[in-house]
A and B are shown apart, each in its own frame.
Chain A
Amino acid sequence: MSLLETRGLTKEFGGLVAVDDVDLDIQEDERVSVIGPNGAGKSTLINLITRMLDPTDGDIRFKGETITDLDPYDVVQMGVSKSFQTASIFPELTVEDNARIAALAAEHGSFKFNFLRHQNHYSEVAELTQETLDSVGLLGQRDTTAADLPYGDKRRLELGIALASGPDLLLMDEPTAGMSPEETQATVELIEQVKEEHGLTILLVEHDMEIVFNVSDRIVVLNRGGIIARGTPDEVQGDPRVQEAYLGGVEL
């Protein structure tokens, strides 16, 4: 059974079809990348899966259950976590509190009636917070205000927040956007490392070809909202339709 599957997934904005009849299957433990030229519908696809957007048509199933009518926080609670394209963190909170808030949501569910209970009573939240910071290498900066972190570290924290939710499926929206080559390299290593540590299935949306071909088991190519090719990195690289649509016919 696929961990995530979409059937006939469609999203229209007015007259524009941003995602057009997409069937996607992601197996457990896989690393799948979605690539495509600007405006191909990659981010819209991610936003549909996280339930930030309502699909016009089609179905999304996670672990065999349909999630099409769930709220975003329910989808996260089921085990789908998203790492945002821009570092979406809690700027005025400390690094530790940034991770703690995600750990809290993972341990307590979407809502709990515990407003008179001291945080110190939740040692499992503290443990998860510590583990998460350790795995993204930010334990040393735990008391730093998140806004004061350098950009690369903010993105690490962003990934940490996504990881602390304890996901089975991690959606990553351009994790290396705006990064220097060194930071990009560090991020690729970090992705590899957390995948091993947390046993994650990863769906990656990315522009950087190098990362895509290094990190992915399978690649799905979107163009104008529809899937035009899918397969291993080698298959996709050699596909003439892909070169036409995405690589502009230039030989890699």
Chain B
Amino acid sequence: MTDSTADPPAEEGGAFVEPGKLPVWSWFGSDERSLVGITTLAVVLFPWLLVRAPVVSSVLDGYQSLTSLILIWGIFALGFNLLLGYVGMLSFGHAVFWGGAAYAAGIFSAQVNGSPILVVLFGTLIAVALSLVLGVITLRRSGIYFSILTLAFGQMFYHIAQAPLSGLTNGTNGFTDVDVGNLFGFLDLFGPTESIPLSTPLPVIGDWMYLFVGTFTVLTVVAITRILHSPYGLVFKAIRENEQRAEFVGLNVWRYKLMAFVLSGVFAGVAGSLFVVQGGYVPLESLNWTTSGEVVMMAVLGGAGSMVGPMLGAGIYIYVENVIAGYGAIQPYWHIILGLIFVVVVVVFPDGIWGIPGTVREKLSDSSAEERGGEN
């Protein structure tokens, strides 16, 4: 038997596939394939639901640019959640990566090149560099000290952008010279998808900007899912559960934490850059602690530690901020409304809005177990 010496074929998704001849699609696990499908479908249907669907859209009172904005903050929250939900580290300085990428993207578009893809790439690169530097410094401490260090460095960057670097950033007024060109040189991102008759495959989407942002959203979900399915996913959870034990099974915990920090910085960078491509303006506030606080609220509100939660939290937050806050009588109180929702969710449903079904089920089974216990 000559072939008995050959390596046994690797098992992949229940089917035998010869090593080295894996089809591209099999790079994904079967569960990942369905996830890509579901995410794509959700991204495609979302603007239709919010802007164009009969009845629903008029109740929701949404508008087109809101859809892109929600996805952008969703990408930010998903990346942030990698750190908070899976490694259990609370960063209060993620504005540095969001805002740093935003400024980098804006300045790049004005002075070097306006190609949306290059702008996002450059902004993300700067966010990676910033997260690497900040990570090396702040990860020397853990717990509350880590959070405070990230907050302090975040505010440092805010004040640096405000005054010493105002020649570059335009200070308090924000950077207004953003000049993002057409995608691939000919697609106006703000044009409606119908603007190019040849390619109107998805008129439900609304505009090219949404398609651009939506593509990054799907890529983000795929990338984060893959990270969580990689050995890193398990290592992150192990660090969250018992950092000392993780060290004492032989893992370089510090380096894995740094990787988690940088990876979450990548997505903050993608989101911050997209924010500029979409908004055409870099507000100074993008570096302020309020931005760091907003992403914490989004992740916790929706449900940290899940994939849907942070996106949901971002959606609710941005929706309240932009739509509910627009109703005349409510306008002065929208922060209070959001704060109340936040407090209720955190107190009653610690797993966030996405975790409500699970929390309710748990409480029901607990109380029924208590009843049974009482009968005995």
Contact = CB atoms under 8 A, between A and B. Distances in A.
Interface of A: 50, 71-73, 76-77, 81-82, 84, 88-93, 97, 100-102, 104-106, 108-112, 114-123, 125, 161, 164-165
A116 B241 contact: no
Contact of A117 (B223, B231, B241, B248): B231
A191 B296 CA distance: 47
Interface in B242-299: 242, 244-253, 255-256, 259, 263
A222 B29 CA distance: 55
Given A108-B231, A118-B226, A90 B250 contact: no
28 contacts: A50-B248, A73-B252, A76-B249, A81-B248, A88-B245, A89-B242, A90-B246, A91-B241, A91-B242, A92-B237, A93-B234, A101-B234, A101-B235, A101-B246, A104-B234, A104-B235, A106-B249, A111-B256, A114-B230, A115-B226, A116-B223, A117-B231, A118-B29, A118-B226, A119-B233, A119-B234, A123-B11, A161-B249
Contact of A90 (B231, B232, B242, B259): B242
Contacts of A90: 237-238, 241-242, 245-246
Contacts of A91: 241-242
A81 to B, nearest CB: 8
B204 interface: no
B227 A116 contact: yes
Given A101-B238, A120-B29, A111 B252 contact: yes
Interface residues of B, number: 32
Secondary structure call for the B interface: helix
B249 A115 contact: no
Nearest to A72: B247
A77 B238 contact: no
Interface in B197-248: 223, 226-227, 229-235, 237-238, 241-242, 244-248
A111 B251 contact: yes
B255 to A, nearest CB: 5
Contacts of B234: 93, 97, 100-101, 104, 119
Contacts of B242: 88-91
Contact of A73 (B231, B232, B250): B250
Nearest to B245: A88
Nearest to A125: B231
Contacts of B223: 116
B321 interface: no
A122 B248 contact: no
Given A90-B241, A92-B241, A115 B251 contact: no
A116 B245 CA distance: 24
Given A90-B242, A93-B241, A118-B29, A110 B252 contact: yes
A195 B242 CA distance: 26
Given A73-B250, A120-B29, A114 B245 contact: no
B251 A73 contact: yes
Nearest to B8: A123
B10 interface: yes
Identify which of B12, B233, B249, B259 gathers the most chain A CB atoms within 10 Å of its CB.
Answer: B249
Nearest to B29: A118
Contact of B250 (A110, A119, A123): A110
A109 B252 CA distance: 9
B12 A120 contact: yes
Which of B11, B234, B255, B256 has the most chain A CB atoms inside 10 A of its CB? B234
A86 to B, nearest CB: 11
A161 B245 contact: yes
A123 B19 CA distance: 13
B241 A122 contact: no
Given A118-B229, A119-B233, A122-B231, A110 B238 contact: no
A89 B263 contact: no
Contacts of A73: 247-248, 250-253
Contact of B231 (A81, A84, A119, A165): A119
Contacts of B244: 88
A116 B12 CA distance: 16
Nearest to B238: A101
Nearest to B246: A101
